């Protein structure tokens, strides 16, 4: 069964304090790993897609990396506006294009 | 509007009643998805429509749940004989043709359903 586990559940950082969020996955053939950001009361907002081990994507203070078993979302010198829940999802060969398996998310709080 | 629109934003109903949730995707987006987000849980896939192809209904949790889509436009998710465990935020998303494989889904703000 395809599964995604995110850690930690919650993370509190001071502004400027860099850290990483983890997404461990098991999937029957990876067709893509996806990172989303979700603000309270809003729908998730797409950030990145990674397809193969060794791939990296960057956007502003965020950098996503992928290995064969996990992905990391690195946050460099975060700002309070980076506070949100970060969701990781995978799509495997066993499901349709629409069937993404999501983790429970990591709630990030960045204090000024 | 430019984004995915969902209605109602909030719905409170009594156990046993039927509810309908509506989704207006972004114009021109051929793919439409329904997900459910229960408190403290990850998003759960419900159903996926792609153009005129048969929908993937493999995520619907029971035969009380059904969804329809009119062409490449509006979709309605119907829950019959609601139960308390149906309480959740129901999220709709859409994506343009050829972009489904990138995982870039555009989500609406969701319909929060509370079953008393």
> Which residue from B43, B101, B102 is facing A102, i.e. has the nearest CB?
B43
> What mean pLDDT, rounded, does chain B reach?
94
Torsion sign, CA atoms A27, B94, B72, B114? positive
- Cα dihedral sign, B4-B90-B13-B68: positive
For chain B, say whether A105 makes contact (Cβ under 8 Å): yes
Q: Look at residue A47 and tell me whether its pLDDT is greater than 60.
A: yes
Q: Nearest by CB to B45, which of A31, A44, A99?
A: A99
Point out which residues pair with A70 in neighbouring strands. A24
Kindly determine whether residue B102 and residue A49, on different chains, have CB atoms separated by under 8 Å. Answer: yes
A-chain CB neighbours of B105 within 8 Å are 44, 46, 100
**Is A102 in the B-facing interface, judged by CB distances under 8 Å?**
yes
Q: So what's the pLDDT on residue B1?
A: 55
pLDDT band at A19 (very low <50, low <70, confident <90, very high): very high
Q: Is the pLDDT of residue A2 over 90?
A: no
Burial class (CB in 10 A: 0-12, 13-18, 19+), A42: middle
| % chain B with pLDDT above 70 | 98
Q: The tokens of B59 are what?
A: 């995520």
Q: What is the pLDDT of residue A14?
A: 98
Q: How far apart are the C-alpha atoms of B49 and B70, rounded to whole Å?
A: 10
Give per-residue pLDDT as tens, A78-90: 999 999 999 999 9
CA distance B42 to chain A (A): 4
First to last CA, chain A: 41
Position B70 confidence tier, pLDDT thresholds 50, 70, 90 = confident
B53 pLDDT above the threshold of 60: yes
**A4 — contact with chain B (CB < 8 Å)?**
yes
Residues of B in contact with A96 (CB under 8 A): 48, 56, 58
Q: Quote the percentage of chain A above a pLDDT of 90.
A: 89
Q: Which of A41, A49, A102 sits opposite B104 (nearest CB)?
A: A49
CB pairs < 8 Å spanning A and B: 71
* Residue-wise pLDDT tens digits, B77-90: 999 999 999 999 99
Confidence class for position B109, pLDDT limits 50, 70, 90: very high
Length of chain A, please?
112
Angle of CA points B31, B32, B33, to nearest 5°: 130
Shortest CA gap A105–chain B (Å): 7
> Is the omega angle on the peptide bond into residue B8 within 30 degrees of 0, that is, cis?
yes
Residues A3, A1: Cα–Cα separation, whole Å: 6
Task: Say which of B59, B102, B108 has its CB closest to residue A99.
Answer: B59
pLDDT at B44: 96
Kindly determine whether residue B102 and residue A45, on different chains, have CB atoms separated by under 8 Å: no
């Amino acid at each position: 069964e395809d599964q995604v586990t995110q850690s930690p559940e919650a993370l509190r950082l001071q502004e400027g304090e860099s850290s990483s969020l983890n997404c461990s996955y098991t999937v029957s053939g990876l067709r893509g790993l996806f990172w989303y950001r979700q603000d309270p009361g809003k729908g998730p907002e797409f950030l990145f897609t990674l397809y193969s081990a060794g791939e990296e994507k960057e956007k502003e203070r965020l950098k996503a990396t992928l290995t064969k078993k996990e992905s990391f979302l690195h946050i460099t010198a975060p700002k309070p506006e980076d506070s949100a829940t970060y969701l990781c999802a995978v799509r495997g060969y066993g499901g349709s294009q629409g069937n993404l398996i999501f983790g429970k998310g990591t709630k990030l709080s960045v204090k000024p | 509007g430019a984004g995915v629109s969902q209605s109602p934003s909030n719905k409170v109903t009594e156990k046993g009643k039927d509810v309908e949730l509506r989704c207006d995707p972004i114009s021109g987006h051929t793919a439409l998805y329904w997900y459910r987000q229960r408190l403290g849980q990850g998003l759960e896939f419900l159903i996926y429509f792609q153009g005129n192809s048969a929908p993937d209904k493999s995520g619907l949790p029971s035969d009380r749940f059904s969804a329809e889509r009119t062409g490449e436009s509006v979709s309605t998710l119907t829950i019959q004989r609601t139960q308390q465990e149906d309480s959740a935020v129901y999220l709709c998303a859409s994506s343009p043709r050829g972009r489904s494989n990138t995982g870039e889904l555009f989500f609406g703000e969701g319909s929060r359903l509370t079953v008393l």
